[in-house]
A and B are shown apart, each in its own frame.
Chain A
């Protein structure tokens, strides 16, 4: 029997690449136990241009988030990396400044399977670098398991040059098992724009031998977009606390699909899928809000996110 621990935090607001995000699971590990497996999750991101011109918004050249984990005993140390470039001296800002707005960061989560060493731990891993739209190699899973796929990162770039975009789509999925095997799939694209891309897809495949957690798809109530403030979605998830536990101790968002729709095909300053502050945990409930955003504030060229935008997300909770 193993148990699942969950942690989430945003990249430090200092550098867009090689930003250290450290998750210490020591308090969850009993004597004789260790981290048996781990997966990284991209629970959100903000990508904000810092430009070298008088304009706030620019074309898209390449956009991405990547998370590189290392296991150091009871710590999972993740390198948080984001990229935004138009190949013309404009790039992701971090740290933020008062003129250009928020820093470019990712909300990073780690799922850690903890237990005594044995060789048949539940699958908790990340399929890195999948070509957009293509299935992964087969992943062996256990008997009678449930599999959950989620986004762990992406890279998308113009097939040729740079250009204006109509939005961003991201998707992750896991196929129905064939025997004791599954494949995962991810896709990424910039709408109205020819791109190539890769997707990192996390996979948690679990049965009754993994305890201490639950995951539920969040029913999100999306509000009407408010210009540069973006489009807010609110969610409230009620967990059933299993016997032996008394409350939710930790929780994180897992993004499965994102569709950000622009009101035109245009340049942009900021693109975002990000939780607003920390999740609120109260005994058996987890609530919060997530903001989708895409805008161009330049004079005479105002463009904003459309209400057709949406995201599919799950809340994963660790019980105490």
Chain B
């Protein structure tokens, strides 16, 4: 029985198969990176997001998990839009003691209200780690002619006040500013443990700097080298410059957030470390002086939950 971490790219409305060496007892999936882009440079959109769903008959009790992806972006470029999806799985019996892995979808975040999941998880004793990551989001403007100013999502885990024994709920928040109100939901992976002896290292990475960064050794690995790692997006925000062109904000072209898998280096520069790079981009296009001009976001921030397993 052990923890396993895998990542896989899903393009457009495609799917990915995560195959493990033994039976899955519990799992959670989340976004490590995503790229949403429209077919044309500069598009007025009313809907943005993506959804991930496990396919029935896969997952717990089997050795493979199939995740289906659906892009929820108007005028989406399906060939150019993708997500890097990470799965944290417990291989062994169901309901492993002290470990709680699950996804909770559809947390309402209309107008940046704080939504909580409807299914708190009873942990039996107080958790040492109670944390969440974004597994999808779906936002919609009330008006179909809304300019796009800024977008963000964030999730967390909170003690459930309504339970008589220790329990945690997922809490989510979201924002999409433009020319009308928005409604939306976020989907989240919940990872909670009541101990740190399960071979799962968890760490919080607030707003990594541009360029390469290094994750310090995490206590959950007991000093062992890192065998696998995933960077789960916990929150992000991007916003065009408000005074970019002195009038309307640019129309949407592309939103990218996350950590590319191909730049993650395990045990670099030393055993127990992980090197990585965080990438964020929000691009749009506006007509200035009768010609198209590409604009990039001014505000950019992403925060991550890093999950690691030991090698061997």
Spell out A's residues near B (CB within 8 Å). Answer: 14-20, 22, 34-40, 50-52, 61-62, 64, 66-73, 75, 77-79, 81, 83, 85, 87-91, 93-94, 117-119, 121, 123-129, 136-140, 153, 155, 157-158, 184, 197-198, 200, 203
Instruction: Tell me the bound Cα distance from A137 to B165 in angstroms.
Output: 16
Residue B225 CB within 8 A of the other chain: no
Instruction: Tell me the bound Cα distance from A308 to B40 in angstroms.
Output: 54
Chain A's closest residue to B306 (CB) is A72
| Contact A89 B132, beta carbon cutoff 8 Å | no
Spell out B's residues near A (CB within 8 Å). Answer: 108, 110-116, 124-132, 146-147, 149-150, 152-166, 169, 171-173, 175, 177-181, 194, 196, 202-204, 206-207, 219, 234-237, 239, 242-243, 246-249, 299-303, 305
Which residues of the other chain, A, contact B165 by a CB distance below 8 angstroms? 119
| Contact B116 A128, beta carbon cutoff 8 Å | yes
What would 8 A/B residue contacts be, using CB atoms closer than 8 Å?
A: A17-B152, A37-B159, A52-B243, A73-B219, A77-B206, A89-B249, A128-B115, A184-B161
Instruction: Tell me the bound Cα distance from A136 to B152 in angstroms.
Output: 27
Chain A's closest residue to B123 (CB) is A119
| Contact A18 B303, beta carbon cutoff 8 Å | yes
Among candidates A35, A72, A124, A128, residue contacting B204 with C-beta atoms closer than 8 Å: A72
| Contact B177 A83, beta carbon cutoff 8 Å | yes
Chain A's closest residue to B163 (CB) is A140
Query: 8 nearest interchain CB pairs?
Result: A20-B206, A68-B156, A125-B161, A18-B235, A17-B237, A17-B152, A79-B154, A155-B113
Among candidates B112, B247, B300, residue contacting A64 with C-beta atoms closer than 8 Å: B112
Instruction: Tell me the bound Cα distance from A44 to B158 in angstroms.
Output: 21
Most buried by A among B129, B163, B177: B177
A40 to chain B, nearest CB (A): 8
B177 to chain A, nearest CB (A): 5
Whether A126 contacts B158 in the complex (CB less than 8 A), given A51-B242, A87-B179, comes out as yes
A251 to chain B, nearest CB (A): 23
Whether A70 contacts B156 in the complex (CB less than 8 A), given A17-B175, A50-B242, comes out as yes
A25 to chain B, nearest CB (A): 12
B90 to chain A, nearest CB (A): 19
Among candidates A52, A123, A129, residue contacting B161 with C-beta atoms closer than 8 Å: A123
| Contact A198 B114, beta carbon cutoff 8 Å | yes
Which residues of the other chain, A, contact B116 by a CB distance below 8 angstroms? 128-129
Whether A155 contacts B299 in the complex (CB less than 8 A), given A16-B237, A72-B202, A89-B248, comes out as no
Whether A70 contacts B132 in the complex (CB less than 8 A), given A123-B161, A124-B159, comes out as yes
Among candidates B126, B158, B301, residue contacting A15 with C-beta atoms closer than 8 Å: B301
Chain A's closest residue to B156 (CB) is A68
Which residues of the other chain, B, contact A118 by a CB distance below 8 angstroms? 125-126
Instruction: Tell me the bound Cα distance from A153 to B173 in angstroms.
Output: 11
Instruction: Tell me the bound Cα distance from A153 to B165 in angstroms.
Output: 25
Which residues of the other chain, B, contact A90 by a CB distance below 8 angstroms? 242
Whether A125 contacts B160 in the complex (CB less than 8 A), given A18-B235, A52-B247, A70-B305, comes out as yes
Instruction: Tell me the bound Cα distance from A14 to B299 in angstroms.
Output: 8
| Contact A52 B129, beta carbon cutoff 8 Å | no
Whether A68 contacts B235 in the complex (CB less than 8 A), given A18-B302, A50-B242, A75-B204, comes out as yes
Most buried by A among B112, B128, B164: B112
Whether A73 contacts B154 in the complex (CB less than 8 A), given A87-B180, A128-B171, comes out as no
Whether A129 contacts B301 in the complex (CB less than 8 A), given A52-B247, A62-B181, A77-B204, comes out as no
Chain B's closest residue to A182 (CB) is B161
| Contact B159 A38, beta carbon cutoff 8 Å | yes
Instruction: Tell me the bound Cα distance from A9 to B246 in angstroms.
Output: 34
Whether A52 contacts B242 in the complex (CB less than 8 A), given A87-B180, A155-B113, A200-B114, comes out as yes
Instruction: Tell me the bound Cα distance from A78 to B171 in angstroms.
Output: 11
| Contact A68 B301, beta carbon cutoff 8 Å | no
Whether A87 contacts B181 in the complex (CB less than 8 A), given A79-B156, A81-B175, A125-B160, comes out as yes
Which residues of the other chain, A, contact B113 by a CB distance below 8 angstroms? 64, 66, 129, 155, 197-198
Which residues of the other chain, A, contact B175 by a CB distance below 8 angstroms? 17, 81, 83
Which residues of the other chain, A, contact B246 by a CB distance below 8 angstroms? 52
Chain A's closest residue to B161 (CB) is A125
Which residues of the other chain, B, contact A50 by a CB distance below 8 angstroms? 242-243
| Contact B203 A81, beta carbon cutoff 8 Å | no
| Contact A70 B248, beta carbon cutoff 8 Å | no
B76 to chain A, nearest CB (A): 24
Which residues of the other chain, B, contact A38 by a CB distance below 8 angstroms? 158-159
